[in-house]
Amino acid sequence: MGRLTTHVLDTAQGHPGNGIRIELSRQIGESWQVIKSATTNRDGRVDEPLLDGEAFTTGKYQLVFAAGDYFRAAGIPLADPAFLDDVVIRFGIAEAGQHYHVPLLISPYSYSTYRGS
């Protein structure tokens, strides 16, 4: 069975992104429906897959990472408004039997992602 996982690395401070709020949404027609919310643990990961089992289906999805809140809580000064506040990653799941891992590498002024394993 396929599943969706993520993790966050804080490249500015050189450690996992602990305590980052994440929302997972699926595109339904022209709108986005939130299907799960989670928070990263001390390892920058979510304790369980964001999506798995019968709920893991093909389609368009997005992850929204509350990066600005995370950096503010860490005492990192940000501009007002922050250059990066909510980081949105939109992606497609084409094969329901695969593992999709969508990591986020983040700093106050940049981010990157890729399909991991």
d(CA 30, CA 46): 28
d(CA 98, CA 44): 22
Q: What percent of the chain has pLDDT over 90?
A: 98
Q: Which domains does the chain have, with CATH numbers?
A: 3-113 (2.60.40.180)
Cβ pair 22, 50 in contact under 8 A: yes
Taking only the tens place, the pLDDT of each residue in 8-26 is 999 999 999 999 999 999 9
Condensed to tens digits (0 to 9), the pLDDT of residues 67-108 reads 999 999 999 999 999 999 999 999 999 999 999 999 999 999
**Would you call 55 helix, strand, or coil by DSSP?**
helix
pTM (predicted TM-score): 0.96
